Amino acid sequence: MLDLFHRDGCIAREWLGLHPREFELLWRLAQSPGQRLSRRRLLSDVWRIDHDPETNRVEVHVARIRAKLNRFGLSWLIATDPAGGYLLDPEPVIRHQKQGASSQQYLDSYLRIGNDG
């Protein structure tokens, strides 16, 4: 679950402890699951930078988020696209769709916005 109020993610009632930019990055990726977002697009959308400062800030933040997700075996959620950029991995969604569930239902089981009670 991604909680906009707390600006953090929660899995099995345990908070991930996302830093503000980590949360913004994961939130941005969750807005378009399965869609590749280029490094430049992420810099623009998350950091509000319209040029490439030639740093590895995107890569560092992705690595930090993956490490936090890895505690729950979910580091696969953020995939690196071979063409460059990042996306929420669509492969598990496709496998689950073959079993009859919609991709939105599957993603909602991992990424919920709001309070999960």
Element (H, E) at 15: strand 14-15
pLDDT at 47: 95
Report helix, strand and coil shares of the chain as percent, to nearest 5.
45, 15, 40
Residue type, 45: D
pLDDT band (50, 70, 90) for residue 92: low
Closest CA to 90 of 45, 7, 30, 47: 30
- Domain boundaries, given as residue ranges, for the chain: 2-110
Interior angle at CA 32, CA 55 and CA 90, nearest 5: 95
Mean pLDDT of the region 78-100: 72
Q: Which fold has domain 2-110?
A: Arc Repressor Mutant, subunit A (1.10.10)
Q: What is the pTM of this model?
A: 0.77
pLDDT tens string 53-72: 888 999 999 999 999 999 99
